[in-house]
Amino acid sequence: MKTYLATSQEIRLQIWKELGRASQDRHHAWRTPVLATATPDGSVNARTVVLRGVNLTANEVLVYTDQRSSKVAELAFKPGGMFVFWSDRLGWQLRMKVQITTLTSGTEVEERWKRIKESASANDYIHPTAPGSPLASGAEASPALPSTKNHFTVLVAKITEMDWLELASGGHRRARMTSDTWEWLTP
């Protein structure tokens, strides 16, 4: 059941609460947002990612990727991006403009790698070929022998602006916010 939130502060707090839940609950609709990045040829590339962490104090969200993925190359070209989240349960769309830092080493990466290196998802980061690499003619996707090197990378997305849209039978609402501003918009 949807709860009507009246004030900008209530909405802002609920957005962060939902993001925090999504980073922990694999069934939350916001667990798998779309991340769009710019490509060197001037186009845009968008893909679904998994939300892995939220840091309200730093105004950041985290996702994992393979260092050899196209998104890492695109972020080296232009470190800005946009996340798009949708929740049917809430009737909310959230778009986030972000500046992304790519971490391939250091304490943050090592601690997160320790947590997943024994899980099935670790295979995504130790596969001998890069994501999107062509398979041999006639080959189907199948597990390959893992390499001994991991290509685990943490993307730290610093939120610069959020655009929140609520779709409701009683009327739609929309707002744009930064860490210290709030502006109501026409839906």
- pLDDT tens digits, 2-24: 667 889 999 999 999 999 999 99
- pLDDT tens digits, 26-41: 999 999 999 999 999 9
- pLDDT tens digits, 113-145: 999 999 988 988 998 888 988 887 766 665 666
- pLDDT tens digits, 75-113: 999 999 999 999 999 999 999 999 999 999 999 999 999
Measuring CA to CA, which residue among 93, 99, 91, 85 is closest to residue 49? 85
Q: What is the pTM of this model?
A: 0.92
Distance CA 151, CA 91 (A): 37
Average confidence (pLDDT) over 71-76: 97
Q: Which residue in the block uniquely carries the two structure tokens 């943490």?
A: 154
User: Tell me, which fold does domain 8-130+146-185 have in CATH?
Assistant: Pnp Oxidase; Chain A (2.30.110)
